[in-house]
Amino acid sequence: MFGKLFKRHHEPVTLFYNTDVHCHILPGVDHGSQSVEQSLEMLRAQIDLGIHRIVCTSHVTAFTFENTPQTLQPAFETLKEAVTQAGLDIELFLSAEYRMDEFFDKQYAAGNILPMPGNRVLLENSFQQELMNLDELLFDMQVKGYKTIMAHPERYPYYAHHRQRYTQLHNAGTKFQVNILSFTGYFGETARDAAMWLAKNEMIDYLGSDMHSVKHAHIIQEYINESKEWKKLAPLLEPHILNDTI
């Protein structure tokens, strides 16, 4: 997948932070992990990457995954118990990845939101077009004390092709979480190019695995161990990454 970017290392490389702020590791609540066994496998892969703190950010999306605190909390407690029994050195936090849609509007109005520590909220846009009242929503959330984080902005083609919008949103106070998988080309060249542009313009505040299966961990592990590109990217990103402040 990565062509001439790779060079084999003798010692395994780990990530320069130990908190993953975006992954789909809770069992049976979205199209990520489908069982406790899969979740434990994914967690062991995270530990191999150097991750020891994970914010569980299951999808909250109209019609497909209409999760609420009441549906996510039991899966979270089940996973925490499994982690304890397995003796894994990893700390879990419960939050969600909120698609900004009609279901989110209802949950937000009802105060039914699960923020990360520090009142941070991970928000996902539609992949077709930007939310019509996005600026108003982000401002309203910030006024109410939420710290807004946009999930994988590099994956929205309408931003990738109109990059001045990145600058507007970031300057208005919304932080950006970019997927490491995007640097590998996993989501295509448009997303990869946008991720590189955001890195060079110092607009990446959080990195996430966006892990839905152990396959994603293996791709990330291969990339950070074998890519000359990551050796150059990591020092560029590290001064700006806030993952471990959560």
pLDDT, tens digit, for every residue of 92-149?
999 999 999 999 999 999 999 999 999 999 999 999 999 999 999 999 999 999 999 9
Domain that holds residue 83: 3-8+17-245
> Positive or negative, the Cα torsion across 203, 206, 211, 217?
positive
Q: Are 35 and 68 in contact (CB under 8 A)?
A: no
pLDDT given at position 4:
42
Distance of CA 66 to the CA centre of its chain: 19
pLDDT given at position 11:
74
pLDDT given at position 10:
57
pLDDT given at position 46:
98
CATH code for position 82: 3.20.20.140
Q: What's the number of domains the chain is made of?
A: 1
Identify which of 22, 3, 5, 54 has the alpha carbon closest to the alpha carbon of residue 233: 5
Structure tokens at 23: 């992954």
Question: Environment class of residue 165 by beta-carbon count within 10 Å: exposed (0-12), middle (13-18) or buried (19+)?
Answer: middle
pLDDT-flagged residues of the chain (< 50): 1-9
CA-CA distance, 210 to 189, in Å (whole number)? 18
| Three-state SS letters, the chain | CCHHHECCCCCCCCCCCCEECCECCCCCCCCCCCCHHHHHHHHHHHHHCCCCEEEEEEEEECCCECCCHHHHHHHHHHHHHHHHHHCCCCEEEEEEEEECCHHHHHHHHCCCCCCECCCEEEEECCCCCCCCCHHHHHHHHHHCCCEEEEECHHHCHHHHCCCHHHHHHHHCCCEEEEEHHHHHCCCCHHHHHHHHHHHHCCCCCEEECCECCHHHHHHHHHHHHHEHHHHHHHHHHHHHCCHHHC
Structure tokens at 87: 């003796």
